[in-house]
Structure 1
Amino acid sequence: MKIDCYTHFSFETYLKYLERNSKTPFSYGTLFRYLKTMLDVDSRLALMEKYQVDKHVIIPLPWIESVKEVYEDSVKAHEAAKILNNELANLVNKYSDKFIPVAVIPTTNIDIMLAEYERVIYNLKFKGIYLVVGPTVRPIDDSVYDSLFKKAVQDNVPVWLHPSRPITYSDYINESMSKYGIWQSIGWLMDSSTAMIRLTLSGAFEKYKGIKFIIHHHGALIGLFSKRLNAGFRLFKNLEAFKSTTTITEPFIEHFKNFYVDTATQGFEPLLIQNAYMFFGIDHVLFGTDVPFDENGGYNFTNETICSINSALISDADKEQIFYKNIVQILNLKVN
C-alpha cells in the first residue's frame, strides 16, 4: 500500500477569488492551470492509478498569504479559507477512498483562526491543518499560535508546515526580486529549517506535549547538517553577543527528532531518504512526493520518490512503514 502524505490540489473558484482581490498579477493562477493534475480530479486519479498510490493527503494551495490584500484583511482571509476548505471537503466527499483533507488556516486574526480550525476539524472532519512558514509571514513561534497548538494536541491533529518565501523576497537587500529561482530552490529549504529551529529552541515540544509537526522536503537542511547545527548551538550559547535563550535540555539537536518528515526530494535521491531515515528515525519518515510540482504534473516526482525509497538501504519492513504504516498511525486511518 502507498499513501502519499504531501500532495497539493486547488480549485478554480479559489484561484478566481484570489485573482479578483489581488492588485498585482497572480502568478500561481498561471502555474496551477498549466499543471493539469493540480485542478482536474480525473487526471489526478490517473496519476495515482499508474503508480499504484492508494491515497493522496491533500494540502490545498495556494496559501492565503500569497495575496497580501486577502491575508491582511481578516474578513477576506476567512472567506478565502472557507472557499478553499469547502471545495476540498466536496472533493473528499466524492472520493473519500482516495483523498484525505488537510485544511488551510487563516492566521490574521486569532478568533478567526480558531473558528476555522473548529469548523474544519469538528464539522468537516478534516484530518489535519497546515500553516506556512517563511520570512514574510508571522513567525511560527509567535504566541498567537499558542491556543491553536494546544487544540491540535488536545484533538490529536497533525500540523503540516509548508515554506512560503515569495519571489519578491530578494537575495540581496538592494534588489527587489530573487533571481534564478533561489527564492524557491534554496529559500524554501531555509524557511522550513528556520521554522524547525524556532519551534524546537523555543520549547514547542515541551510546551505542546505530543504535537505532530510534519515538515516538507525530507526535513529540509536539519538532518543533513545536524553536526554543524549542534556545534553551532554549543558554541554560540556561551557567547553573550550571539546568545538566544532556550530552556530545552542538551544536546539540542536531539529534540529535532520529534518532527515528522516526508520523502519529497524532487528527484532520484536515495541518499537523502537514507539521511532522513537515519536522523529522524523510521517512525518519523512518511512517503510524500510534492505532486504535482514537476514538469509532468507529478509523474516524475511520484516515480522518482518511489524509486528512491526502494533503492535506499532500508529493510522491506521499514519501507512499508514509510509507504503507509506511519501515516496510518498518525491519522488513525482504517485500511484493509
Structure 2
Amino acid sequence: MRYIDAFNHFFPKQLWDKMLQADGAAKDIGHRMRGIPCIYDLDERFRVMDQFGDYTQVLSLGMPPLESLGAPAETEEYARLGNDGMAELVAKHPDRFAGFIASLPMNSDNAAAEAERAFKNLGANGLQIHTNVNGRALDHPDFFPVFEMAERYGKPVLLHPSRGASMPDYADEEKSHYEIWWTFGWPYETSAAMARLVFSGMMDRLPDLKVLAHHLGAMVPYFEGRVGPGMDQLGKRTTDEDLGEVLKRLKKRPFDYFKDFYADTAVFGSRAATVCGLDFYGADKVLFASDSPFDPERGPGYIRDTIKVLESIDMPQAEREKISYRNAQDFFGLKRD
C-alpha cells in the first residue's frame, strides 16, 4: 500500500541553525531536540523513511509554536526560514516529500501576508496553526485574516495542540504535574479550539475552509454523545448569559459542524482510538499520519505502528486507499496518478 504521511515534523537546516544560535526559548528547544536526530538530520530522516517502501511525507515544523519564540520581528524571521527551507526540501526531494505545511508568526500583524507568500511563492499545501496563540483563542478577530487567506487559496488549516506545564490542572497550583498538560491537556486543547471555531460562527463565515484536527479529532469521537445531544442543550447549565442565542445564530446543528472537520490517524498506534475515530469521521475525512519522529524509537515507531493498526482493521480496498493516500492528495492538492 502507498502511504502519504499528512502530519509529521522536521526542522529545515536554515531554521535549525538559527534556533541553535538564538537566545531564550528557541535555543532551549534546539537543545531538547538534539536527542531526536530524525527531526533535523536529513540523512537520518531518509534512513527511517526507507523502512516503509512506497511512503512519502507532507512536512510541518515541530513544536513549539513560532509565536512563542519572541517578538514579531523574530518570529517573522523564523517563519520565513522555516517556510523557505520546507519549500526547498520539497523541490529537491519530490520523491520523499509530497508537500509541506507552512508555519506562521501568529503574534505578528503580518501572519496572513506570510501565509499568502507561502501559498503564492513557495507552493505551500496548507497551514499549521496551534490551538491557541500565546494563550489567545483562535476565534479572536486578530486571527480571522489568516483563516480567510487559507479559504481564499483553497488551502487547509491543520490544528496542532499547544499547552505547556505552565497551565496548571488545578486552580491552587502553579503548574501542571506528571505531564498531564500533554497527555490529557493536548486533546482538550484541540477539542476546545474546534468548539471555538464552531460556536464563534467561523465555519459559517468561511464555509469552504477545510480544517484538520490532529490526533484523530482529539476528544470529539469518543465524546460523540456530548458533542451531539449534549451540545444540543447549549445554555441549559449557564445562568449569566443566553447561550441559546448561539444555537439560533448557527446554520446547522453543532454536531454537524464537528463532523465537517478532517482528522488524522496519529494516535500513537492505538487500535481502539483508530476504530473510534474512523467510525465518527468516516473514510472520506481521515488521513494517514504518524506524528513521527516523537515515538520512543525516535522515528520509525509510530509510522510502523499506525500502518499495523490500519492493516488490522477490515475495510473495503477503496476506503483503505482513501485513508492511506488518496484523501491526502485531495486535501493538499497533490498531483494524482
TM-score (norm 2): 0.91
% identical aligned pairs: 29
Pairing 1:107–2:106 present:
yes
Q: Indicate the residue corresponding to 1:156 in structure 2.
A: 154
Pair 16,47 (structure 1): closer, same or farther in 2 beyond 3 Å: closer
Match of 1:251 among 239, 253, 262: 253
Pair 21,177 (structure 1): closer, same or farther in 2 beyond 3 Å: farther
Deviation, structure 1 residue 8 = 0.2
**Number of aligned pairs?**
330
Deviation, structure 1 residue 24 = 5.7
Match of 2:175 among 154, 174, 177: 177
Deviation, structure 1 residue 175 = 2.8
Contact 2:3-2:54 at 8 Å conserved across structures: yes
Q: Indicate the residue corresponding to 2:331 in structure 1.
A: 330
Contact 1:205-1:258 at 8 Å conserved across structures: no
Pair 169,16 (structure 1): closer, same or farther in 2 beyond 3 Å: farther
SS class of match (1:89)? helix
Contact 2:227-2:254 at 8 Å conserved across structures: no
Distance 1:4 1:152 in 2: 21
Deviation, structure 1 residue 237 = 2.5
- Give the AA of the match of 1:286: L
Q: Indicate the residue corresponding to 1:232 in structure 2.
A: 230
- Give the AA of the match of 1:277: L
Deviation, structure 1 residue 136 = 4.1
SS class of match (2:34)? helix
- Give the AA of the match of 2:105: P
Match of 1:82 among 80, 83, 91: 80
Distance 1:135 1:36 in 2: 28
Deviation, structure 1 residue 16 = 4.8
Distance 2:286 2:322 in 1: 8
TM-score (norm 1): 0.91
Distance 2:133 2:186 in 1: 10
Pair 37,18 (structure 1): closer, same or farther in 2 beyond 3 Å: closer
Structure 2 gaps of 5+ residues are: none
Contact 1:165-1:188 at 8 Å conserved across structures: yes
Contact 1:170-1:176 at 8 Å conserved across structures: yes
SS class of match (1:283)? coil
Q: Indicate the residue corresponding to 2:91 in structure 1.
A: 93
1:55-66 correspondence to structure 2 within 5 Å: 55-62=56-63, 63-66=65-68
Structure 1 gaps of 5+ residues are: none
Answer with 294-303 or 319-328: which moved more: 294-303
Contact 1:219-1:261 at 8 Å conserved across structures: yes
Q: Indicate the residue corresponding to 1:4 in structure 2.
A: 5
Pairing 1:280–2:281 present:
yes
Deviation, structure 1 residue 222 = 0.3
1:115-194 correspondence to structure 2 within 5 Å: 115-134=113-132, 136-194=134-192
Q: Indicate the residue corresponding to 1:315 in structure 2.
A: 316
SS class of match (2:320)? helix
Deviation, structure 1 residue 101 = 1.2
- Give the AA of the match of 2:254: F
Q: Indicate the residue corresponding to 1:43 in structure 2.
A: 44
1:261-276 correspondence to structure 2 within 5 Å: 261-267=263-269, 269-276=270-277
- Give the AA of the match of 2:42: V
